Amino acid sequence: MALDIIGLLKNRRSIREYIPKAVSKRVLETILEAAMWAPSAHNAQPWRFIVISDSTLKLKLAEAMASRWKRDLAKNGVLERDRENLIKASVERFSSAPIVIVSCLTMVEMHHYPDKRRQRIESIMAVQSVAAAIENMLLAAHAMGLGACWFCAPLFCPETIRKVLKLPPDFEPQALITLGYPTDRPLPPLRKPLKEIVHLNGWRETK
């Protein structure tokens, strides 16, 4: 069993292209239930998921996000021709995915403090909790033969997301996950060796 879990972790990939095959309600609910069982600070379960399967809404969201990104690209000095190509690819990527899941957090059931320091820490704990739920979702999707990709684009345009999806004021968009059956399985990405990322009994400079 342990080897199966490690194999699952090592074989999961970020999948950005999908075949035009619908994801059943049963499969989708199984993946979302996996997210629900992630650990969370105080067991507050601060995650909220907006599942989008409607083609019109996916396109509307993709275009609104792309419009906001286009302004940022201009500030970065990206040439107009290159901006248009990037925007076109972005809209296609998000609108063509069979399922789009917008992951949000809410602080409603997290602890509330009178000072900014602890409240900031509490907010970070909520972000970590949502991230754990997203990872569960990605692993469950892979285990069921689907592909998924985690995008952080909503962090750059939260008000755009809120407006298109008509989110409550306490919903803070954190990530967008595309989901579907993959066109292929990409090669494994490179990973740093353990000796570069692990320090035993305190930090030690690596050579």
CATH number at residue 59: 3.40.109.10
The pLDDT assigned to 63 comes to 96
Question: Which contiguous run of DSSP H or E holds residue 159?
Answer: helix 158-165
Its domain, for residue 29, covers: 13-197
At which residue do the structure tokens 């809410």 appear? 106
Closest CA to 178 of 111, 68, 114, 103: 103
Q: 6: which DSSP letter? A: H
The pLDDT assigned to 89 comes to 94
The pLDDT assigned to 185 comes to 83
Report yes or no on 5 lying in a domain: no
Report yes or no on 205 lying in a domain: no
Residue 133 CA to residue 40 CA, distance in Å, equals: 8
CB 58 within 8 A of CB 157: no
User: DSSP labels for 60-85?
Assistant: HHHHHHHHHHHHHHHHTT--HHHHHH
Q: Are strands 147-151 and 99-105 parallel, antiparallel or unpaired?
A: unpaired
Report yes or no on 6 lying in a domain: no
Report yes or no on 8 lying in a domain: no
Closest CA to 136 of 3, 23, 37: 37
CB 144 within 8 A of CB 33: no
**Is the pTM higher than 0.85?**
yes
The pLDDT assigned to 2 comes to 56
User: DSSP labels for 15-47?
Assistant: ---B-S-PPPHHHHHHHHHHHHTS--GGG---E
What are the pLDDT tens digits along the chain (207 aa)? 555 889 899 999 999 999 999 999 999 999 999 999 999 999 999 999 999 999 999 999 999 999 999 999 999 999 999 999 999 999 999 999 999 999 999 999 999 999 999 999 999 999 999 999 999 999 999 999 999 999 999 999 999 999 999 999 999 999 999 999 999 888 878 899 998 999 999 987 766
Closest CA to 124 of 161, 172, 158: 172
The pLDDT assigned to 204 comes to 77
Single-letter amino acid, residue 121: I
- Number of domains making up the chain: 1
Report yes or no on 147 lying in a domain: yes
Report yes or no on 183 lying in a domain: yes
50's CB contacts (< 8 A; 6+ apart) are 101, 102, 104, 165, 167
Report yes or no on 34 lying in a domain: yes
Report yes or no on 1 lying in a domain: no
User: DSSP labels for 83-121?
Assistant: HHHHHHHHHHHHHHSSEEEEEEE--TTS---SSHHHHHH
